[in-house]
Structure 1
Amino acid sequence: MIRGLPFSQLPKTIQDAIVFTRKLGFRYLWVDALCILQSEGPHDTSHQEDWSHETTRFGYYYQNSAITIAATGARSSDDGLFLPRPALAFDPNPVILRRKGPTGETRDISILPNVPSWISEIKRAPLYERGWAIQERILSARVVHFAANMILWECHERRATEIDHVGSSLNDRSNGMVYEEVSDFMPIVRKLQLQGGSASQVVREWYSFIEGYTSAKFTFMGDRLPALSGISALIQRHIPDCYGAGLWQSAVPEGLAWLIEDKLAEDIPDPVSPPATTTELKQMLPSWSWAASRGTVRFPSSLESWEPVLRMEDWDVKSAGVDTSGQILSARLRVRSAFKNFSASELGFKSSAELFSQLTNFIRSPTWITAEYGQAFASEGRETKFTEEKIKLFQSDKSALLNYRRKLLDGATKGFDIYYKDTDMQKQASIANKKLTRERLQNNEEICSKLIPDFEFGCRRVSLGNGYLESLIKPNTKAIFDEIKCVDESGILDNNNIQHDFDIIICATGFDVSHRPAFPVLGRGGQNLGDVRS
């Protein structure tokens, strides 16, 4: 055990913290870097036991501290607390210019300097780029921030700066100075400590807070959940809910709805922050948790308007600590969900074929796929999305936008004869589309014979399918034209009693088949289709 260290051998930031503590009249100072045996990573077993034990006590330390000293503006422990200030950048006194008006009266004009603000000093500060520091800030009753240009005060009630001594209330969301994910969560924590709180409100704010939290950096990405252990343990003491792997039991569906903001960053090895890839992370964390992502995640902004189709049936999370807040040892989740219908355009079959290792497409009947619909207006490569250059052109040149809209209207109007039976345009469209469909499918006769209709082009709704036909012949894609007999727990049973097991089923219908028009709809031979489908 270390009994003492010479003051001169301590890093500059710790030296300054000791001086400041003595000036305040306190006898004791707790410094995590000195009071915990620092782990060198997941494979460092010599220090792991002390580190695992102490991380579960972080919440206790910071909640019960008289004051927390934050080296907010320092980039390393050698920078210190009392950073040099550029004099010209910190002069709150206005410059008064006095001038006479046209009638001889005197007027004063005040020119205020562009002084540092809370946002510039805190939100982008080096300290709060570190994930571990966020918990320290939220749990501390009082924080003194030694920022780059000034000292700031923060507690669970107010914030103040050297320029604005009165400051602003933490609950004042109309004040843009304090509007950020971490700041918004602090009043929730404070209210829990003083009065208790609504579990639904806490959980709703939790996922919003996680969005800001996941943008922070960690030396070891596996620390994402342990660095929240103090906050999650505090919440569990005040609301009737269970926590595990970053999710709350009462809101598992919402907790599973996270999206990766930067998919590319997920798979780029990071030479500074091991583990290097998401694959390695998922060996340490459950893949369904947002914590298994390396980058920033986002949750839907309006969870209240969701239609619940998923139900959590069972979960089991085992942690290294004394509760479910520490390092994850094992995690299991079982959910049950209904099926949700999407239109073909929402499905994005081309993108799905690129995302999934195996994709099966059930096609119940022949249909026209518009292999070249609107290609006269598409970008290179049949890309139907506008390029950034095109968007900027439309924003800056209204006439260019108007001309483009007129071309679209003109093309759609002139092509309307496609939908009239036996017109030359309809016949030509059928011939051209059959030819293009075969080309896209590389003359795969098994698919062509079942997919290409024998009825006229436009007789039924035409499906937009840029890239869809090419996807059907990819090695990881299978097209099935048999009817579906039933959908069961493991997948789909077709009419030939062949079982197809799937992880996900996406139903691309888009029609309300329960609708009955007020007039009769007659089919071939004068048959009333309403009688057939009743």
Structure 2
Amino acid sequence: MIRTACHVPGDTASVLSVLQVQRWLRRCSATHSKYGSIGLDVSLPTRLIDVEFGLRLVETKGMHNRYVSLSHCWGDRDSTTAKRTFKITRENLSSSLENIDFTSLPRTFIDAIIFTRKLGLKYLWIDSLCIIQDDQDDWRHEASLMANIYENAVLTLGATASASGSAKIPKFPVLIRIDARITSKGKRYIVYAQRQLPHLMQYEPLYKRGWIFQERYLSPRFLHFASNELIWECREGMGCECNENKLLETTDSDPVGYFNAFKSYYLEAFTASPYRVQVAWRDVVHAYTELNLSHAKDTLPALSGITKKFIGLRPEDIYLAGLWESSFVYDLLWHAESYGILKKSLRPRLEKWRAPTWSWASIDSAVMTRGTSHNYGNDDEPRMTSCIDVLDVNCIPAGDDITGELSSGYAVLRGSVLAGYFRFKPRSYESHCIAKGGYEMSFFPDYRLDTDDDSRVQDGDCVFCLRIATDSPRRENSLDDFLVLRRKRGMIGTFERIGVMTLAVDGNDFYRMFESRREECAITIV
């Protein structure tokens, strides 16, 4: 089938491309008014780049105006190119307020500056130029403001196809002239052809980056500089230069629409029931943890903007290292995945502590829970009942932001516990097991247990299972959920989580043994 499409200029900096973006901006501003007008001045971020005349850093000090933000991949920060890339530090802060050398900037930044100028806007926000990179306090403060920074931007430019700051925003293939004819009325016309452009957004470099998750979701308007064309995304629709609108409107067969599904879950949470808000959060965690971060310490900060939006939806609730007080038991039921868009494998326990082991933020794998929309459709209440008493949960932030980095955390839970032994079967599909009284049951490990460090769990080591929740109401094929724990080395009476286990209630010998030998006790998990 031969379809008609719009001409793709082949250069994102072309007059035609800029005019198209301006049309998208005007249409969004006029028809999607609840998301803010493009002509509305807002309170500006702490610092911005003034691109109007020359180039310099501006400390806004309460100013109101309009600005554009940039979302991009840092690339390999340990590379020689990355080390030479200009960024704001305490040493060059004063001079940057006077002037920034245009030639010192990476190619992606230069392209973003040029495009901002062509849109007729004065200010641009770029993380490495507007946050002091060698000042931890400044970084934590600015990271806590990410929700406002991206939400208030007129437009976010996404260097979607660029794997690092040194890459140019791409130019696209030109059309091929096929024929020229004269109509019966004597009018001359020309026929051009181009391959149908793919819209496989999830494979672009930017979509593999953890920070893009909140940058994209919080931005009212996001412009993708993709591999083949410009793709527009706002909270009420999508568009592209080739104008394949029918493809972009679908969500079941089109990759763009499919990859946009998690954004829909996030936006729907703002009008959902309290339980569906809980489910939406777990969907967000699942999608977010499939992505990669250059620095492990960024796991919670890189989601802090979206977290703050959910705090607004759960004003009576308490946020706890990626979990929530009101749904703490059900939020505990995450397990590590070793598949997904990026096919992240099970990884070793982190060398440096980042979060308590009961939090998904303590590992680097993608996670899934039994309480997401993938499992339970559109239920408005959980299908599980808690089997534990949560006696105490405490998380201490490293700075002033409760959604940012942590310095410590623990949970005290009372419930039914059974001690057993770890069994490892390297050639078996069910390779990680708890053994007790001649019975064995497999579990999902949170991380690689065979590493040569303090996190290693060896065959024969003592481990424990703590029952967390059960299906409600009880029915045929009901399941109970357990945390798998071990004693924390060097800390008396303290445990750490190493996995999660699900047991069938009926006809299960291990479950019957658990019921006959379990003990009720309170344990502290760090």
TM-score, length basis structure 2:
0.55
User: How far is the alpha carbon of 1:86 from its aligned partner?
Assistant: 3.7
Q: Larger % of helix: which?
A: 1
Pairing of 1:39-58 with structure 2 (within 5 A): 39=134, 47-58=135-146
Relative distance call for 1:11 and 1:200 in structure 2 (3 A) is same
Is 1:314 aligned with 2:364? Answer: no
1:253–1:311 contact (8 Å) kept in structure 2: no
What does residue 84 of structure 1 align with?
Answer: 171
Is 1:291 aligned with 2:372? Answer: no
Secondary structure at the aligned position of 2:204 is classed as: coil
What does residue 276 of structure 2 align with?
Answer: 201
| Aligned counterparts of 1:92 and 1:220: Cα–Cα separation in 2 | 48
Q: 2:202 aligns with which of 104, 116, 123?
A: 123
1:92–1:115 contact (8 Å) kept in structure 2: no
**Matched letter for residue 235 of structure 2:** H
Give CA deviations for 1:268-316 in whole Å, capped at 9, x if unaligned. Answer: xxxxxxxxxx2424x2321111111122222234364334324433211
Aligned length: 334
Q: Larger % of strand: which?
A: 2
Is 1:9 aligned with 2:86? Answer: no
What does residue 151 of structure 1 align with?
Answer: 230
Relative distance call for 1:149 and 1:235 in structure 2 (3 A) is same
Q: 1:68 aligns with which of 140, 152, 156?
A: 156
Q: 1:331 aligns with which of 397, 402, 409?
A: 409
**Matched letter for residue 508 of structure 1:** F
What does residue 246 of structure 1 align with?
Answer: 322
User: How far is the alpha carbon of 1:351 from its aligned partner?
Assistant: 4.6
1:92–1:113 contact (8 Å) kept in structure 2: no
What does residue 222 of structure 1 align with?
Answer: 297
Pairing of 1:420-499 with structure 2 (within 5 A): 476=461
1:185–1:206 contact (8 Å) kept in structure 2: no
Secondary structure at the aligned position of 2:410 is classed as: strand
Q: For structure 2, which runs of at least 5 residues remain unmatched after alignment? A: 1-93, 180-192, 339-343, 377-381, 440-458, 464-484, 486-492, 504-508, 516-526
Relative distance call for 1:233 and 1:509 in structure 2 (3 A) is closer
| Aligned counterparts of 2:304 and 2:247: Cα–Cα separation in 1 | 29
What does residue 108 of structure 1 align with?
Answer: none
| Aligned counterparts of 1:126 and 1:338: Cα–Cα separation in 2 | 46
| Aligned counterparts of 2:166 and 2:494: Cα–Cα separation in 1 | 56
| Aligned counterparts of 2:104 and 2:245: Cα–Cα separation in 1 | 39
| Aligned counterparts of 1:168 and 1:308: Cα–Cα separation in 2 | 44
Q: 1:136 aligns with which of 195, 215, 221?
A: 215
User: How far is the alpha carbon of 1:201 from its aligned partner?
Assistant: 1.2
Q: Which moved more, 1:206-215 or 1:50-59?
A: 206-215
Q: Which moved more, 1:231-240 or 1:219-228?
A: 231-240
1:161–1:167 contact (8 Å) kept in structure 2: no
Secondary structure at the aligned position of 2:395 is classed as: strand
Give CA deviations for 1:43-86 in whole Å, capped at 9, x if unaligned. Answer: xxxx21111111001111001111000000011112122x1324
TM-score, length basis structure 1:
0.54
Give CA deviations for 1:221-250 in whole Å, capped at 9, x if unaligned. Answer: 121111001000111123232212111222
Identity of aligned residues (%): 29
Relative distance call for 1:179 and 1:317 in structure 2 (3 A) is farther
| Aligned counterparts of 2:158 and 2:409: Cα–Cα separation in 1 | 35
1:222–1:285 contact (8 Å) kept in structure 2: no
| Aligned counterparts of 1:337 and 1:352: Cα–Cα separation in 2 | 29
**Matched letter for residue 213 of structure 1:** Y
What does residue 261 of structure 2 align with?
Answer: 184
